[in-house]
Chain A
Amino acid sequence: MSTAVTDMVVREIDNTQNDPAKRAPLVVGDHDFTSVTETVCSITEQPRPPRAWYIAFGFSVSLLGVMGLMIAYLIFTGVGVWGLNHPVNWGWAIINFVFWVGIGHAGTLISAILFLFRQQWRTGINRFAEAMTIFAVMCAGIFPGIHVGRVWVAYWLFPYPNQMAMWPNFRSPLLWDVFAVSTYATVSLLFWYVGMIPDLATLRDRAKTRTRQIIYGLFALGWRGSHRHWHRHEIAYLLLAALATPLVLSVHSVVSFDFAVSQLPGWHTTIFPPYFVAGAVFSGFAMVLTMIIPARQYFGLNQIITKRHIDNMCKIILVTGSIVGYSYAIEFFIAWYSGNPYESFAFINRAFGPYAWAYWIMVTCNVVVPQFFWFKSIRGNLLIVFILSILVNVGMWFERFVIVVSSLSRDFLPSNWGYYSPTFVDVLTFIGSFGLFFTMFLLFCRYLPMVAMAEVKTVMPQAHLEHGHHRGVGDYHGDIPHAHEPGYWGNQTSLTESPTHPVEPEVS
């Protein structure tokens, strides 16, 4: 078996060709159902993970430890250890919160919206992306939690009846955030888990040890793969997709409200909700690419997560990056058009003021970098895609930095201006949050099926024996079904031939 896996690692097959008459295969190589199961499951079934995994895990846990130390230091000393000052009372913590929530947007977009759009290539990457969503939301949740100052009463964020008769302000978007993010985390987790049940059952059935049998069996919820199970599973999945779709838009819209409901120039502008959502999807896909390019290579998944998947993700980054660029342009234009001196000042200050360096990093990474994805040769070069995907997230972090800091540091009154610099605690907490993200991610790679095996199999040609008329949700890939049957095109052999039927006379 291990030789079979190594063979697959070597062979990278290009399936990015574009022939309108033929659907490109989404699983390449000589895969059949058994080999897909084997490839995906064997990663978790090896008695011990490869050495590189240990090294990566050790590194990630150390980073996580750094975050733990920094948070402990913060709690025991007070928020003064951060670089917050007056007027910049929102610093890295809020930037990191928005950054991580944004990262968490690709997963649900892939699993919900692309599902409703019948984008079958999503099957190769959705499990992976959804897992990242959940880990990113975990990272995001930490920052507002420790930002409240008195961490031990962070639960006051939730409205609950209490003898102090004290309630959070229901008109505050910060409270809406609590609802939006916790709903998103819950639904994403549920969605991820429901989709994973059949695969967990596969792992259970293949388990060689008693522990694995019990643990995977517990989470597989007695899945037997009967028709009735599948039927209910698919309905549940469809309903969850429909419910999760508005959530993809709502979470980052509410995050944008944190800024946009204020009267602060640079924050208060009506395009913020859709612009934030586009930016979130943009950064989320970039993070998926950053993680998936090495992972598919390393775990021998590059015939299941193919070059076409990478190509498609690059295109989504191009689209969402262009929407972000559009929003920058419209914001800038309206800042001038408004005739409001504070508005125009806020934007000129961004581009030429003390934080101009951050602004231009943002513009370069978010507007210029994705433009490279216009070129197919670049989308096909995994190393360049990997580097560009990291740059996109550098840009998206700086976008939040520019929004939060540049507007706060210079508002209406020059006597109220200030300059913000982070402390080492800010920096190390942020770096440490990557430790949490990577730790969770590595555990996921080791213990859970990284690819939605059951779903991938439905888009393989073997799933379609083409008997009878019935086909599933927008099922088509490879050749057009039935096209080879006699009489499909009438008397012709294909559409591309000249018609044999009498041409109707042109009507003048």
Chain B
Amino acid sequence: MHLTHPSQIFEERTRLDRLGRIAARWSGIVGLASLGLTIVWSLYSAGGLDHFYHSYLTSFCYFLSLSLGALFFVMLQHLTRAAWSVAVRRIAEIVAASVPLFAILFIPILFGLTTLYHWTDGEAAAHDPLLQSKSPYLNSAFFLVRCVFYFACWWILSRYLFARSLQQDKSGDPSLTLKMEKVSAPGMILFALTLTFAAFDWLMSLDAHWYSTIYGVYYFAGSAVGFLALLTILCFLLQRSGRLTNVITIEHYHDLGKLLFAFIFFWAYIAFSQYLLIWYANIPEETAWYLKRQEGPWLWISLLLLFGHFIIPFLGLLSRYPKRRKTILAGWAAWMLIMHWIDLYWLVMPEFSRGRIPFHVIDLGCLLGIGGLFLATIAYIARGRSLAPLRDPRLGDSLTFENA
């Protein structure tokens, strides 16, 4: 049984230091280079630019979901006054603070609006009564206003919580904990609404004829799975690099594993609810969305999600054993991060490529590009800062609790 005595944490390496600079520099370079190369490649290949936008949106929504999952995690811990998670909360705060990056990375999507969203095409909309009826909501100007609002909300929330937490590192003032708790309550409501409508705007409106009230919850469930997997991996890597070796204990991994397991189940519950209701009622305007995802090889991707995103990890994480083995748990977390990307790919790509999986090196380029910049931003934010909220009043509880 590994237990930490709180006095040990003061001898702990809690900063990224040189590793942070190296990680920021190199992932930044890799990110920019692969994005640059991908853009050049797509400009010079037939239909490449269209595919670039589709692929870019996939990876954008993927990494953004990790960042939003982090914001949700931080607010949830404050709302529930959680003690167990204090040791890993700073990592989540850092990931959540990367949201402004996505406001910048959103700019290329604006250039690709007409490629991505057929409702922006005035010509087509004129002959489409459905699009006409939706035009008060689905029009470029209002779309832009909403996007600005989403990013503003996320940025303010993540910034506020991160800043208060850093302030507590210096002052050790317990009242800051109460402040974060207060803001998290309305913050959670704002988060739920902005995430839902962002998912409607950026993903659901790819097929502007189709609609599903649970869609926002589906994107949320994936975000939570993705972030918990990322957090597990970050804890694992940080400890491998000799940081937080005593702060994060096997008990934290166990709890992260339980939450990951729970959200995998939750994702499946939401996915099943949506599928069953649409399959059962069999209304053509709704089933069209699933038919695209069952046509040709897409069927295999759908089945891959059923097994890879639910049944296999469900069985894999069911028992206590894998949750208390760092390497095994990190392996499952990596698996889930891949599955979550495939989930996003499955949400976006069938809208543009029916009956064919358009996998292309551009997809990898976008994944590496945005992923590189995402990692670089995280490393940059983490630079010179403690990787754990060392003076949080509940830290003692977090260090010494046990899963009996």
Contact = CB atoms under 8 A, between A and B. Distances in A.
B15 A507 contact: yes
Contacts of B50: none
A273 interface: yes
Contacts of A327: 213
Contacts of B396: 480, 482-483, 488, 495
Contacts of A274: 214, 217, 269-270, 273
B401 A21 contact: no
Contacts of A496: 172-174, 391, 393
A470 B404 CA distance: 9
Contacts of A472: 402, 404
A270 B7 contact: no
A357 interface: no
B277 A339 contact: no
The A interface is mostly helix, strand or loop, or mixed, namely loop
Given A488-B5, A504-B15, A508-B384, A473 B403 contact: yes
Interface stretch (A144-152, A254-262, A445-453): A254-262
B10 A501 contact: yes
Interface string B71-99: 00000000011011000000000000000
A470 B400 CA distance: 9
B20 A263 contact: no
B104 interface: no
A118 B270 CA distance: 25
Contacts of A118: 84
A480 B20 CA distance: 34
A260 to B, nearest CB: 5
The B interface is mostly helix, strand or loop, or mixed, namely helix
B3 A469 contact: yes
Nearest to B5: A488
Nearest to B384: A507
B383 A507 contact: yes
Interface in A315-350: 322, 326-327, 330-331, 334, 337-340
Contacts of A257: 276-277, 280
B54 to A, nearest CB: 23
Interface stretch (B188-196, B304-312, B350-358): B188-196
Contacts of B258: 116
A261 B270 CA distance: 15
A86 interface: no
A322 B281 CA distance: 28
B391 A495 contact: yes
Interface residues of A, number: 60
B211 interface: yes
Contacts of B270: 274
Contacts of B269: 249, 253, 273-274
B118 interface: no
A261 B280 contact: yes
Nearest to A116: B258
A343 to B, nearest CB: 9
Interface in A354-375: 374
Contacts of B274: 270
Interface string A249-291: 1000100010011110000111111100000000000000000
A482 B186 CA distance: 35
B364 interface: no
A487 B7 CA distance: 7
Interface stretch (B28-36, B130-138, B226-234): B130-138
B213 A271 contact: yes
Nearest to A341: B133
Nearest to B401: A474
Contact of A498 (B172, B280, B390): B172
Given A331-B213, A474-B403, 14 more contacts: A20-B178, A253-B269, A260-B277, A261-B277, A272-B277, A273-B269, A273-B273, A326-B193, A374-B185, A472-B404, A487-B7, A495-B391, A495-B395, A501-B10
Interface of A: 18-21, 116-118, 246, 249, 253, 257, 260-263, 268-274, 322, 326-327, 330-331, 334, 337-340, 374, 469-476, 480-483, 487-491, 495-499, 501, 504, 506-508
Give me the 5 closest cross-chain CB pairs, A-B, nearest first: A271-B213, A490-B7, A21-B393, A507-B384, A270-B214
